[in-house]
Amino acid sequence: MIPLQTQSTLPDWAALAPTLLLGLTALALLLVDSIDPDDDSPGLLAGVATLGSVLAMVVTGWYLVAGTGMPRTGGAIELFNGQLVVDGMSLFFTFIFASVTALVSVASYDYLADRAHQAEYYALVLLAATGMTLMASANGLATAFVALELSSLPSYGLVAFLKNNRGSVEAGLKYFLIGAVSSSVLVYGISLVYATTGVMKLPAIATALGGGVAGQGTLGVLGVGILMVAGGFAFKTASVPFHFWAPEAYEGAPAPISGFLSSASKAAGFVLAFRVFVTAFPLEVVAGTLDWTLAFTVLALVTMTLGNFAAATQENVKRMLAYSSIGHAGYALIGIAIVTGTANQGYALGASMLHLFVYGFMNTGAFLFVALVEYWGVGRTFEDYNGLAKQAPVACFAMTIFLFSLAGLPIGGGALSKWALLSATASAATLSAYLLAAALIVNSALSLFYYSRVVKAMWIEEPAGDFEVSSYPTGLYAAVVGAAIVTFLLLPAFGVVSGTAFDAAAALF
């Protein structure tokens, strides 16, 4: 079966197959649960969730290889009268969401052992993933908002899943409140943009703005609208100024969910921001109103610096990872901050996409390792990790790969994606790009300090007490080791992914 031929025979809606698969898996999980609600066989639920997300991942990977929605096979596929679009970028991000979902599902099998409401848990994860894939495909502001809510609402529930744990409930409430505020900011921004242009679809907005629909009097309204839309996305990506929820939510949530939110949910925020700003508000059209690259430059600088400095002062590993996740949001913002028209735009955006791709594996892996440690009942501070490597060398080896890769040492793909960002700033060759490059280097150096603290605790320090690892949970181990293998392989095999990312990003312009 030659993919390209199959492509021409499939109907257009088949391009949404990954989204449909994820959504149907969520429904299937509820069905399984309703047939026998008292059956607590987590294996079946975790298996169905994993199967569904792996299927979605395989289909997405196949589409990416076949070039569905890419210029070489006829360009983006528009569905539902142009409300949804399937192109290289949406598929690339769908692959991230599906693979993170698969990892989280496998890991949750052990993490959730003996807990109630497992079916709801898996169903919420898959519904959130469905929402994320829709965010990647959304081609209109209204669709974007609905998709964003579809991914956010299950997330609130998931963060508060450990409902007997005060931290978890508090985190859920905080996440929900800030989410609600930022949603309203976003929807207000959308309404302002609609007020000036009168359309909702992204390409139509650009056309309307380019045609001079916006009168002189409404330029200010448009500018405020764009800024508010950016604010709405900042919530989803855990960037300044809507980042306050992230440390609490990631710390309080079940660790697999922290990994899910900080990798997949963040990437979903980014893909939406990329598409909306590049398609609806092209710089040459809105430059007279608002130079949003400047806004993103400032956001990127503040976000990465704040995230890294805060991470350096933490005593709790999970919280450190949460702040470092904010720092990485700052790195990923570089891609959109240097889309200045003069630079190689596709390259800049592609570099950010690559960073989010690698991040999806190395960060999820790191949080899953934290989940493993929580499963063993070890504490959460750096000291509690002392001497862990004596008990569990394989898992600690995997964690070491994650941490060094996050720091940008060439032990995993993280180094290459940072280099891609760095060379993208070089190709932009503006003062703000150089500033971003300098901040990236300085922050990476700083991050090595706090990441290596964990490594030092695990391998070098002596264990404080007579702690014994009692069991080696298969699911968690499989997920952690699997993520480590992918993180490492992304170093030699980076070229396999990078070509697709740059092509997909270039097709957007």
Partner 1 sequence: MLVELLIVFALMAAGLVFLVPDEYAGQFAAVLSLVPVGVSLWMYSIFDGTGNALLEGGQPAFETVANWITLGPYAISWHVGLDGVSMPLVVLTTLLTTLAIVSAWTPIDERESQFYGLVLFMQAALIGVFAALDFLLWFVFWEAVLVPMYFLIGVWGGPRRKYAAIKFFVYTNVASLVMFAGFFTLVFGLGDSISTLGLPAIAQALEAGQLGSVGGFGPGTVKLAAFAALFFGFAVKVPVVPFHTWLPDAHVEAPTPVSVLLAGVLLKMGTYALLRFNFTMLADVARANAALIAIFAVVSVIYGALLALAQQDLKRIVAYSSISSMGYVILGLIAFTPHGVGGATFQMVSHGLISGLMFMAVGVIYNETHTRMIGDMSGMADRMPVTAGVFVAAAFGYMGLPLMSGFAAEVLVFMGAFRSTTIPMAPLFTGIAMFGIVIVAGYLLRAMQKTLFGPFRLETDYEIGRAPLQDVAPLFVLLALVIALGVAPDLFYRMIQDAVFEVTALGLGGGA
Record the tokens describing residue 269, joined without a space.
């925020």
- The SS3 assignment for 263 reads helix
Instruction: Compute the least distance from the CB of residue 403 to partner 1, in Å.
Output: 11
Instruction: Compute the least distance from the CB of residue 482 to partner 1, in Å.
Output: 17
Say whether residue 423 binds partner 1 (CB under 8 A).
yes
Residues whose CB falls within 8 Å of the CB of residue 41, separated by 6 or more in sequence, listed in order: none
| Contact pick of 198, 220, 241, 410 for partner 1 (by CB under 8 A) | 410
Give, in degrees to the nearest 5, the angle at Cα 403 between 397 and 404: 90
What is the biggest distance separating any 2 CA atoms in the chain, rounded to whole angstroms?
A: 73
Length in residues, the chain:
509
Say whether residue 291 binds partner 1 (CB under 8 A).
no
- The SS3 assignment for 139 reads coil
- The SS3 assignment for 505 reads helix
Task: Give 78's strand partners.
Answer: 85
Say whether residue 74 binds partner 1 (CB under 8 A).
no
| Contact pick of 123, 416, 480, 506 for partner 1 (by CB under 8 A) | 416
Say whether residue 477 binds partner 1 (CB under 8 A).
no
Give the CA count within 13 Å in the CB-facing half-sphere of 137: 30
Sign of CA dihedral 199, 200, 205, 207: negative
User: Of the listed pieces 157-165, 297-305, 312-320, 405-413, which binds partner 1 according to CB under 8 A?
Assistant: 405-413
Say whether residue 162 binds partner 1 (CB under 8 A).
no
Say whether residue 434 binds partner 1 (CB under 8 A).
yes
Record the tokens describing residue 417, joined without a space.
């994606």
Say whether residue 347 binds partner 1 (CB under 8 A).
yes
| Contact pick of 295, 461, 478, 489 for partner 1 (by CB under 8 A) | 461
Say whether residue 20 binds partner 1 (CB under 8 A).
no
Say whether residue 411 binds partner 1 (CB under 8 A).
yes
Residues whose CB falls within 8 Å of the CB of residue 508, separated by 6 or more in sequence, listed in order: 87, 89, 274, 275, 278, 279, 346, 349
Sign of CA dihedral 271, 476, 321, 146: positive
The residue (of 41 and 342) whose beta carbon lies closer to partner 1 is: 342
| Contact pick of 460, 464, 474, 509 for partner 1 (by CB under 8 A) | 460
Say whether residue 286 binds partner 1 (CB under 8 A).
no
Contact positions with partner 1 (CB under 8 A) in 224-253: none
Instruction: Compute the least distance from the CB of residue 442 to partner 1, in Å.
Output: 9
Taking the C-alpha atoms of residue 458 and residue 453, their distance in angstroms, rounded to an integer, is: 9
Instruction: Compute the least distance from the CB of residue 295 to partner 1, in Å.
Output: 24
| Contact pick of 44, 409, 435, 478 for partner 1 (by CB under 8 A) | 409
Taking the C-alpha atoms of residue 85 and residue 388, their distance in angstroms, rounded to an integer, is: 47
Give the footprint of partner 1 on this chain (CB under 8 A). Answer: 344, 347, 390, 393, 397, 404, 409-411, 415-416, 419-420, 422-424, 426-427, 429, 434, 441, 445, 448-449, 452, 456, 459-461, 491-492, 494-495, 498-499, 502
